[in-house]
Amino acid sequence: MKYLIREKLMCLGDDFVIRDESGRVRYQVDGRAFTLLREKLSFQDASGNEVAFIREKLLALRKSYEIHRDGDRVAVVKKDLFNLFRVGFTVDVPGPDDYEATGSILDHEYTFRRGGRKVAEVSKKWFTLRDTYAVEIEDGEDDVLILAAAVVIDQICHDRDGADSED
């Protein structure tokens, strides 16, 4: 399935709208749940029902976010430590086969892999609009989890004051 993620401009907080390949709104991310201590995002279906909750993890050595569903933590997204051969993120899920996102993260050109197999691709190359990118997810994968992880990667890589984050 192909999705288009676009950040809503002129909004309080970090809000995103996610459309499917036919242009219908499938999900939205409400970033108004921001506190002084940490960032919180509500990942909602098109009707406004929360299907996942994203929050910044406190007291982490490096910036990371937790993704929750139905009160349970289902993943932790964190930027990999500096490595000469690879720059990316790990989406730590319970059990084996975490997701890994690698590529040109700052340019929104990267691939999610699980167990060495490509499961999703993120690309901004076809879009001239600021903060708009496509996510193509292989059949049988957890679309909500991958889309939420893509939003988290955007949050970590791009400061909200307009500058890109390099840490």
In this predicted structure, the answer to whether residue 68 has a pLDDT above a threshold of 70 is: yes
Integer Cα distance of 111 and 104 in angstroms: 9
Tell me the percentage of the chain whose pLDDT exceeds 70: 77
Integer Cα distance of 127 and 8 in angstroms: 15
pLDDT tens for each residue of 18-66:
999 999 999 999 886 555 555 788 999 999 999 999 998 876 677 789 9
Integer Cα distance of 32 and 44 in angstroms: 13
- Per-residue confidence (pLDDT) for residue 160, from 0 to 100: 46
Q: What is the pTM of this model?
A: 0.86
- Per-residue confidence (pLDDT) for residue 145, from 0 to 100: 97
The domains found in the chain, sorted by start residue, are: 2-157 (2.40.160.200)
CA-to-CA dists, residue 115 to 26, 97, 112, 165, angstroms: 28, 5, 10, 28
